[in-house]
């Protein structure tokens, strides 16, 4: 009987040791190792279980009881310790991952509309309000539309004023937005009403860039065709437009000029909005500032687009968007628009898109 008592005694010692280990464990990992050490396959407890076979029928239940006592106490202590350690570990993890919601966020930099876009949209808005359509044409254009259909045949001397970039003999980068006149005229259905359109877009010239010239710039074309359109319609429209863009007190003046696609042709000046006609540096002391070219659509232009000039007439105008933006914002060099210098652009914040 001594042996079984020794065994039970040894198991009590082992349990004491195990409980001490469990209480000292400071992590889930350490706990796991303790479990392997005591109750795992090769663990200490198994050394006792294995001896079961050598015991007598009386001794066996005594050892069995001791083993289950060990297991019960061990498991209880283990579960308690495990719960406490897990709670502690969770608290630590939460503390480590805590978000400081008082930190300032990262501010996104929003772009704003380019001053040329703002100017173009403002002009578009005016004409949309007057019932015009906005129609875009191709930047790579046929010679036929850019020149011939605008009454500039191949040998016309006025072509010299608009040299451009040629793709081949017949295809080029358009020098003005006027070809959209022909493209629109040839498809417009006059039985549905008059044609009133503007056409904004990029144009190109073989020019050397300087403060007032750019090989690429933007224009807005305007075209109205109906029965009985006269110079009075043109000047009334342009007066309303000028007042909108340059101030209510603005007056306009039409000077005779020449364009192959209009007859008569005019150049349109507005009263200087800086000195109001007194004469200053802006208007070169004249009191007037030139803003666009215009006229009554040449009968040839109508005819070439299949429209009978004895029934229909119209007016057209073309203006440079850069020029309007430069005048209104006191910008002295056209190249500023295209250099993307953020210091320049930021002066004309026009709100987000
Ligand atoms: N296309 C001309 C240019 O680029 C501008 C122009 C003048 C357009 C008179 C017109 C117009 O429609 O009637 O210089």
E strand or H helix that includes residue 46: helix 44-49
DSSP conformational letter for 166: B
Stated pTM of the model: 0.72
Structure tokens at 273: 């909005």
Q: Tell me how far apart the alpha carbons of residues 166 and 169 are, in angstroms, rounded to a whole number.
A: 7
Q: Look up residue 32 and give its two tokens.
A: 């796991």
Angle at 88 between CA 85 and CA 92, to 5 degrees: 135
Binding residues for Mg(2+): 263
For ligand 1, atom 12: residue with the closest CA = 317
* Interstrand relation of 216-226 and 252-257 (parallel, antiparallel or unpaired): unpaired
The response to whether residue 178 sits with its C-beta less than 6 Å from ligand 1 reads yes
Q: Mind listing the pLDDT tens digit of every residue in the chain (353 residues)?
A: 568 889 899 999 999 999 999 999 999 999 999 999 999 989 898 988 888 888 888 989 999 999 999 999 999 999 999 999 999 999 999 999 888 888 888 888 878 899 999 999 999 999 999 999 999 999 999 999 999 999 999 999 988 888 899 999 999 999 999 999 999 999 999 999 999 999 999 999 998 999 999 999 999 999 999 999 999 999 999 999 999 999 999 999 999 999 999 999 999 999 998 888 888 988 999 999 999 999 999 999 999 999 999 999 999 999 999 999 999 999 999 999 999 999 999 899 875 54
CA of 92 from ligand 1 middle (Å) equals: 76
What atom of ligand 1 comes closest to residue 178's alpha carbon? 1
Which mutation among 317, 320, 321, 323 tests ligand 1's pocket best, with the greatest number of atoms within 8 A of CB?
Answer: 317
Question: pLDDT tens-digit profile of 22-73?
Answer: 999 999 999 999 999 999 989 898 988 888 888 888 989 999 999 999 999 9
Q: What is the residue with the minimal CA distance to atom 13 of ligand 1?
A: 294
Q: Which residues are annotated as a binding site?
A: 263
Alpha carbon distance 228, 235 (integer Å)? 15
Q: Of 81, 97, 94, 87, nearest to 23 (Cα)? A: 81
pLDDT value, residue 52? 86
Q: How far apart, in whole angstroms, are the C-alpha atoms of residue 34 and residue 251?
A: 97
- 293 ligand 1 Cβ < 6 A: yes
């Amino acid at each position: 009987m001594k042996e079984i008592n020794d065994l039970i005694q040894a198991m009590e010692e082992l349990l004491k040791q195990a409980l001490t280990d469990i209480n000292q464990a400071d992590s889930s990992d350490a706990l796991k190792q303790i479990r392997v050490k005591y109750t795992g396959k090769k663990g200490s407890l198994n050394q006792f279980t294995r001896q079961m076979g050598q015991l007598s029928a009386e001794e066996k239940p005594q050892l069995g009881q001791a083993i289950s006592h060990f297991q019960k106490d061990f498991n209880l202590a283990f579960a308690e310790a495990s719960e406490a350690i897990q709670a502690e570990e969770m608290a630590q993890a939460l503390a480590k991952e805590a978000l400081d919601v008082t930190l300032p966020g990262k501010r996104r930099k929003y772009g704003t509309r380019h001053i040329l876009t703002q100017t173009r949209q403002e002009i578009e808005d005016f004409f949309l309000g007057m019932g015009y359509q906005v129609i875009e044409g191709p930047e790579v254009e046929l010679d036929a539309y850019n020149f011939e259909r605008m009454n500039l045949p191949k040998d016309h001397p006025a072509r010299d004023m608009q040299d451009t970039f040629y793709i081949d003999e017949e295809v080029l980068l358009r020098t003005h937005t006027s070809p959209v006149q022909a493209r629109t005229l040839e498809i417009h259905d006059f039985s549905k009403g008059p044609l009133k359109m503007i056409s904004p877009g990029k144009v190109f010239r073989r020019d050397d860039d300087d403060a007032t010239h750019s090989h690429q710039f933007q224009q807005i074309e305007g075209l109205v065709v109906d029965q009985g359109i006269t110079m009075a319609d043109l000047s009334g429209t342009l007066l309303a437009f000028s007042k909108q863009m340059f101030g209510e007190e603005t007056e306009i003046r039409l000077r005779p000029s020449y364009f192959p696609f209009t007859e008569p042709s005019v150049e349109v000046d507005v009263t200087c909005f800086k000195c109001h006609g007194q004469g200053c540096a802006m208007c070169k002391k004249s009191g007037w500032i030139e803003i666009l070219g215009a006229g009554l659509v040449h009968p040839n232009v109508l005819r070439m687009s299949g429209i009978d000039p004895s029934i229909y007439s119209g007016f057209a105008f073309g203006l440079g968007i850069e020029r309007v933006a430069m005048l209104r914002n006191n910008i002295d060099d056209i190249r500023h628009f295209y250099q993307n210098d953020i210091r320049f652009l930021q002066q004309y914040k026009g709100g987000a898109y």
